A and B are shown apart, each in its own frame.
Chain A
Amino acid sequence: MSDGVTAMEAIARTDVEDFLFAEAELLDEWRLPEWLELFTDDAIYYVPATDLAVDASPDNNLFYVADDRFRLSERVKRLMKRTAHAEFPHSRTRHLVSNVRIRKHVGDEIEVSSAFITYRTKDGVTDTYFGSNRYRLVPGNGTFRIKEKRCLLDSEGLRAQGRVSIIL
C-alpha cells in the first residue's frame, strides 16, 4: 500500500469539518480573495436550478451559477467592487455547515457532502438559503483544495430570496 493511499484513508471527518468551517468563516468575513485560493486551478462552482437532477450538467441545462475557475475569480473580483450593486454595501451573512460526511475516495480526491443554512441580511431583510453542498476535495499539505463545489438548494427556486448574489 502506497503512502498516498494510507494518507487518504487516514483522513478523518473532523479534518474535513475543520476545512469547511474555515471556508464558511472566510465567506462570512467577506475575505473572498482568500476563499478563492481554496480552489484548484481547474475548479468549478455550480448552483443548479432546483428542478434538475442532482448530477445535471450545465452544458445542457439551465443553472443559476455555473462558474469555471476563471469566471469564479471574476465573480470574486466583482463582489469586491463598489459597482457590484447587489452586494454594496456588503450584505452580512452566516454560513452554517452541518451533517458533514465523507462519501467516497476516488483516486486522489474525496467526495464530501454537507448540509448548509446560510442567512443573508441587508436593508432590513433577512433571507435564508438551505440545501446540501457536494464537494470534490483534493487532500495535500495537511489541508484540502476544492475541485468542485455544487450547491443543491432545497428550496423551490429562489422565490423567497430573489437572487443568489452572495456565494453559498
Chain B
Amino acid sequence: MNAFQRMNTALMVDESKKIFKVSRRAFVDPDILEAERAQIFDKCWLYLGHSSELAKPGDFVTRSVGGRNILFARDGKGHLKAMLNTCPHRGAQVCREKHGSAKSFQCFYHGWVFGLDGTLRSQPGDTSYAEDFKERSTSSMQQVPRFESYRDLNFICFDKNVESLSDYLGPVKEYLDVICDQAETGMTIVGGTQEYSMRANWKLLTENSIDGYHALTTHATYLDYLKAASGALAQVPFEGSARDLGKGHAVLEYKAPWGRPVAQWIPSWGEEGKRELARLYEGLVNRFGKERADRIATFNRNLFIFPNLVINDIMAVTVRTYYPAAPDFMNISAWALAPREETEWARKYRLFNFLEFLGPGGFATPDDVEALEQCQRGFRNSAEAQWNDISKGMGKENPSYDDELQMRAFWSNWNDHVFKVPA
C-alpha cells in the first residue's frame, strides 16, 4: 500500500459547506493509475464494439480494450465472439489485421489454425501432441471472461464474477433506449474511425465529455461559426438538466440550438430537409406518442457510462471510448452512430454536422484537447496547488446541465473503486 492509498480518499467533501474538491495527484500519480487498472478497468464492464461492425459471418475487428488485445468476430453461426488475441501455444497475436473478413484465423508463428470462434482446428505436426490435445480447452484461443450486449452495444469484463451488464447499466438503459429508438431498424456504425490521443489524464476526458459549463468559452469559435453560417441555428435556447445515474454513470439532457438529423430542423437544411425531418418526427410520434417523440427528437444527451464510454446524442451521435497509456497520456477511439434506414440526405447532413463540432479536425474538439493538455500541464504544480474544485451547483434540487453534479457522481464512484479495501 502506497502513501496515497493510506489517505483513503482523493476527495475533500463537505456537503453542508458546498465543498467538493479532487486531489490533483489523481491525475499524475503512477500508483493511482496502477490502482485504476486493477480496481476499475479489470473490474468494470468496458465497451468493445457495435454489432453492426460485424455485419456477416467471418467479419472481425481487432482492438485494444482495457489494455488487452481483443479479437471481436462473428462466427459461422452468426454469433459474436470476443477473444483474447493471443495464441494459446506461445503467445503471438493471432490476428494482425485491424478489420476484415476471414474463414479462419491462423497464427503465422507455428501455423496453428483456429475457427472463427477461436477453437483450435489444426496445428502442424499434430501427431507429436497428446491424442486429446485438440479437445483441451487450453488448446484454443481464450474467450474474454464475460461478454454481454445491450441494444447492439457489446461490452466485455475481465472479472468473471461481475454483475450482469443489465444490472451494471441500470437506469443507463433507459437513455440508451431513447438514443437507439431514433432508428426504426436499429443503429449502425458509419464507416471510418477517428483514432487520436491526448497528452492528458483519461479522467479529464470523462469530465470534459459531460461538462456543460465550458461550452461558451472553450468553444467560442464554434459558436461564432454557427452564427456565421446562415440558418445554422434553431430558435432554441440552451436549457436542461443533469442526472446522476448511479455507479458513476451520469447524463446531461438538454435543448440546444444546433440542428439534429433526428429531428430538429434548422433553416440551412431547406425545404427538402424540412420534409425529411417532418417525416421522421411523424414516424416517432406513431411509434412512441408525442411526449417520447419530442424527447427523442429535440433533446440532446451527453451520456457517460462508467468508466470510459461516452455516447453523445447531439448534432450527430458519437460513441467514444478512451484508455490511459500513462497518467498523462490517453488513446481515444470515436465512431459515428446512425439509424440504419437513414436516407442519403440525412446521412450526409449528419456527418457534415458531426465534423463541424466533433473529432480531432473539428471546430471544437481540438480546443478540448488543448484545454485538457493545459490542465495536465497545470498539474505539474500539484505539489503546491493541490485541489480541483467541482462544487458548481451543489445543494440545488434540480442541477442544471452546466452544473457539476455529473462529475461529482463520477468522482465519488471512482474514489470508491480506487480506495476500496481489497476483500
Q: Are A62 and B220 in contact (CB under 8 A)?
A: no
Q: Are B363 and A157 in contact (CB under 8 A)?
A: no
A residues lining the B interface (CB < 8 Å): 47-52, 56, 58-66, 70-71, 74-75, 77-78, 81, 83-87, 123, 125, 156-165
Q: Are B351 and A165 in contact (CB under 8 A)?
A: no
A70 to B225, alpha carbons, bound, how many Å? 10
Given contacts A59-B348, A64-B361, contact A156 B195 (CB under 8 A): yes
Q: Are A157 and B194 in contact (CB under 8 A)?
A: yes
Q: Are B191 and A61 in contact (CB under 8 A)?
A: yes
Q: Are A62 and B193 in contact (CB under 8 A)?
A: yes
Q: Are A163 and B229 in contact (CB under 8 A)?
A: no
Q: Are A159 and B221 in contact (CB under 8 A)?
A: no
Q: Are A63 and B355 in contact (CB under 8 A)?
A: yes
Residue of B225, B344, B356, B361 near A163 (CB, 8 A) is B361
B347-368 CB contacts (< 8 Å) to partner A: 347-348, 351-352, 354-356, 359-363, 365-367
Q: Are B355 and A84 in contact (CB under 8 A)?
A: no
Q: Are B361 and A86 in contact (CB under 8 A)?
A: no
Nearest to B217 among chain A residues (CB) is A83
B335 interfacial contact with A, CB 8 Å? yes
Q: Are A157 and B355 in contact (CB under 8 A)?
A: no
Q: Are A66 and B355 in contact (CB under 8 A)?
A: yes
A165 to B360, alpha carbons, bound, how many Å? 7
Given contacts A56-B191, A78-B221, A83-B220, contact A65 B367 (CB under 8 A): no
Given contacts A59-B351, A85-B371, A163-B361, contact A52 B191 (CB under 8 A): yes
Q: Are B190 and A60 in contact (CB under 8 A)?
A: yes
B22 interfacial contact with A, CB 8 Å? no
A126 to B198, alpha carbons, bound, how many Å? 14
Q: Are A50 and B195 in contact (CB under 8 A)?
A: yes
Nearest to A88 among chain B residues (CB) is B370
From residue A142, how far is it (CB to closest CB) to chain B in Å? Answer: 33
Interface residues on B, range: 35 or more
A69 to B63, alpha carbons, bound, how many Å? 36
From residue A153, how far is it (CB to closest CB) to chain B in Å? Answer: 10
* Chain A residues closer than 8 Å to B98, beta-carbon distance: 51, 156
Q: Are B220 and A74 in contact (CB under 8 A)?
A: no
8 other contacts beyond A62-B336, A164-B361, with CB at 8 A cut-off? Answer: A51-B192, A62-B193, A62-B335, A86-B367, A161-B196, A161-B360, A162-B199, A165-B366
Nearest to A58 among chain B residues (CB) is B351
B190-219 CB contacts (< 8 Å) to partner A: 190-199, 218
* Chain A residues closer than 8 Å to B366, beta-carbon distance: 86-87, 163-165
* Chain B residues closer than 8 Å to A51, beta-carbon distance: 98-99, 192-193
Residue of A56, A81, A83, A123 near B192 (CB, 8 A) is A56
Nearest to A124 among chain B residues (CB) is B377
B369 interfacial contact with A, CB 8 Å? yes
Q: Are A85 and B344 in contact (CB under 8 A)?
A: no
Q: Are B195 and A84 in contact (CB under 8 A)?
A: no
* Chain B residues closer than 8 Å to A165, beta-carbon distance: 360-361, 366, 369-370
B331 interfacial contact with A, CB 8 Å? yes
Residue of A50, A62, A64, A161 near B191 (CB, 8 A) is A62
Q: Are A157 and B221 in contact (CB under 8 A)?
A: no
A58 to B190, alpha carbons, bound, how many Å? 10
24 contacts between A and B (CB under 8 A): A49-B193, A49-B194, A51-B98, A51-B99, A59-B351, A60-B348, A60-B351, A61-B191, A63-B351, A63-B361, A64-B359, A64-B360, A66-B351, A66-B355, A75-B363, A78-B224, A81-B224, A85-B218, A86-B367, A162-B196, A162-B197, A163-B365, A163-B366, A165-B370
Nearest to B268 among chain A residues (CB) is A70
* Chain B residues closer than 8 Å to A162, beta-carbon distance: 196-199, 360, 369
* Chain A residues closer than 8 Å to B361, beta-carbon distance: 47, 63-65, 163-165
B228 interfacial contact with A, CB 8 Å? yes
Q: Are A159 and B331 in contact (CB under 8 A)?
A: yes
From residue A93, how far is it (CB to closest CB) to chain B in Å? Answer: 14
* Chain A residues closer than 8 Å to B198, beta-carbon distance: 162
Per CB-CB distance, the 4 closest pairs between chain A and chain B, nearest first, are A157-B195, A62-B192, A64-B361, A86-B366
A64 to B361, alpha carbons, bound, how many Å? 5
* Chain B residues closer than 8 Å to A63, beta-carbon distance: 192, 351, 355, 361
From residue B96, how far is it (CB to closest CB) to chain A in Å? Answer: 13
Give the one of B98, B191, B221, B373 with max A CB within 10 A: B221
From residue A138, how far is it (CB to closest CB) to chain B in Å? Answer: 24
A84 to B193, alpha carbons, bound, how many Å? 25
A16 to B196, alpha carbons, bound, how many Å? 33
Q: Are A52 and B192 in contact (CB under 8 A)?
A: yes
Nearest to B318 among chain A residues (CB) is A62
Nearest to B352 among chain A residues (CB) is A66
Q: Are B195 and A81 in contact (CB under 8 A)?
A: no
A165 to B366, alpha carbons, bound, how many Å? 6
A84 to B367, alpha carbons, bound, how many Å? 7
